[in-house]
Chain A
Amino acid sequence: MNPKRTKRLTFVLIIVIGMAIAVGLALYALNQNINLFYSPSQVVTGQAPKHHMFRIGGIVKPGTIHQIPHSLDVSFDVTDKVNQVEVKYKGILPDLFRAGQGIVVDGQLNHHGVFIASQVLAKHDATYMPPEVRAALKEAKHYKHIKSVGKIQ
């Protein structure tokens, strides 16, 4: 390659690599602030902010959903399978909200350590399949479970 082109190529590479390093360092410094939510464990260990709004992400713990009849009030626990935080919310829940669903709640902790949510968002996973496949998978899992229980006995 002639020297002029080599010079221009170096110029192009310097821009790309320089930007990558600069932005990489900036993002590294901002790391925690880019995360959309805290996990319940981070909340329990006191890493989450006390006096202003933040988000918690986790799974709706099965068996903890309490809907107060004739109102929009609902309470449930959000868990990361290690720790959980009690959440109170008044409003319409997204369609995908159910026990075991990944969710993100936006709100603030009160004095009793209960999270008063102002918004509940449902997370969904990257898995797409027809309902029949899902049913078959569940059955297979159940069958496996029975088999493994049988082995132990």
Chain B
Amino acid sequence: MWQFMHKLSSPKYFYDLSGKMLPWFILATAILLIYGLYAGLILAPPDYQQGDGFRIIYVHVPCAIWSLGIYTFMTITAAIGLIWRMKMAHIMVRASSVIGAWITFAALATGSIWGKPMWGTYWVWDARLTSELILLFLYLGFIGLQTAIPNRQTAAKAGAILLLVGFVDIPIIHFSVDWWNTLHQGASLSLLSKPTISPSMLYPLLAMIVGFGLLFATILLMRTRNEVLLWENQSRWVQRLISC
């Protein structure tokens, strides 16, 4: 494991390995998302309370979960990059940020569209919605910091500190519905207790959650490969790759 991590931290090794893995990631993502969307939008029964309107859950919940998941991944990876001075870690964090920002935006947008017919409002300043909005600003702040600092090493370090400071928002988002009273309902899925969503509705949702995770991994691999070429554009193996 340690040796593999060490090998992975070499940009050239990562570039070659990720190139071989990419088609499989694309295939797995496509299968899960097609199954999830078909089962969620067509096979799953309507909800007793919200009718067909509840089906937006199949996009909203995966986006919301991964908006937290990507940030957590970025923070851990950035901390590794900071402590072990690993270039590949910083490259991956940088490549994740835009995906994370878009997925957070998607979670907020789909939530807003869902909120209007069910709650009666597009937006309310409750703890869950506000802390999720702060998460979007954290992503945007990180991206802004990366573009504002021309030196990649310095930008990566500054970005890592921003991520560490902002990480406190992640448990706040997760527990906001338990700690305070909010308009947003509590969690339907939890690792420790039985889901409060019927099995016929649950399996497509799980497929969508895993599918979105794979979608993130796929786009991350693609973006990281680009970033690797940009960072390493002076090195011999990249020069050789370009010339042939």
Contacts and interface: CB of A to CB of B under 8 A. Distances in A.
Given A36-B181, A130-B48, A131-B45, A124 B118 contact: yes
A97 B49 CA distance: 11
B201 to A, nearest CB: 5
Interface stretch (A88-96, A108-116, A145-153): A88-96
B180 A36 contact: yes
Chain B residues touching A, range: 35 or more
B81 to A, nearest CB: 10
Nearest to B202: A128
B197 interface: yes
Contact of A95 (B118, B179, B185, B200): B118
B197 A128 contact: yes
Interface stretch (B144-152, B159-167, B207-215, B228-236): B159-167
A22 B181 CA distance: 22
Interface stretch (B10-18, B102-110, B119-127): B119-127
User: A37, A123, A129 — which one has the most chain B CB atoms within 10 A of its CB?
Assistant: A129
Interface string B196-207: 111011000000
A119 B125 CA distance: 14
Interface string B38-62: 0000000111111000100100000
A127 B167 contact: no
Given A5-B84, A36-B124, A128-B196, A94 B48 contact: no
Interface stretch (A7-15, A43-51, A67-75): A7-15
A16 B46 contact: no
B164 A95 contact: no
Contacts of B49: 96, 124
Contact of A132 (B45, B57, B82, B126): B45
Contacts of A9: 83
A123 B84 CA distance: 47
Contact of B124 (A120, A121, A131): A121
B9 to A, nearest CB: 14
User: B47, B48, B127 — which one has the most chain A CB atoms within 10 A of its CB?
Assistant: B48
Given A36-B125, A121-B120, 4 more contacts: A12-B79, A37-B181, A121-B124, A126-B186
